Amino acid sequence: VLGGRRIPPVAAMVCNFPKPTAESPALLTHRDVETFFHEFGHVMHQLCSTVELEMFAGTRVERDFVEAPSQMLENWCWKPEALARMSRHHETGEPIPDELLNALLASRTANAGILNMRQIVLATFDQRIHSVGEADTAAVLAEVTAELMRIPATPGTNMA
């Protein structure tokens, strides 16, 4: 607010999506569309901000909330109704076939278990190395990975 008047925020979204060619239009993968909606959530967060102090506008909020608007928007890319409205064959105009739509929706959770287990490994690793004075991080990570994932860590690697 300046002089009693609200100053509208400005936002820009710069993306690196496929370009069209002479033979084909720019076609987006589902991941591209999800990314677009996610990033557009950040834009909307900025544009909808109404704050007394500029330093708290848009994405300059607490870390645990900054992704909330983006994740809400990207969830639309997984709704059958939304996909039916935004997805068409670029040549025939046919809607996305049910079989393909169902496969896409099922793919969303395909690796959920292993990804969640990885987070548990990383949290356990973090607790172990920070509860001792010194730690061989490669050895601790290998131990935690083998213990929880039941998969040996790749020898000679240390992501810590």
Of 132, 127, 123, 156, residue with least CA distance to 142: 156
User: Which contacts qualify for 134-141: CB closer than 8 Å, 24 or more apart?
Assistant: none
Other Cβ atoms within 10 Å of 97 Cβ, number: 10
Q: Is 52 a catalytic residue?
A: no
Answer yes or no: are the C-beta atoms of 88 and 94 closer than 8 Å.
yes
Q: Which of 23, 34, 39, 94 is catalytic?
A: 39
Active-site residues, by number, are 39
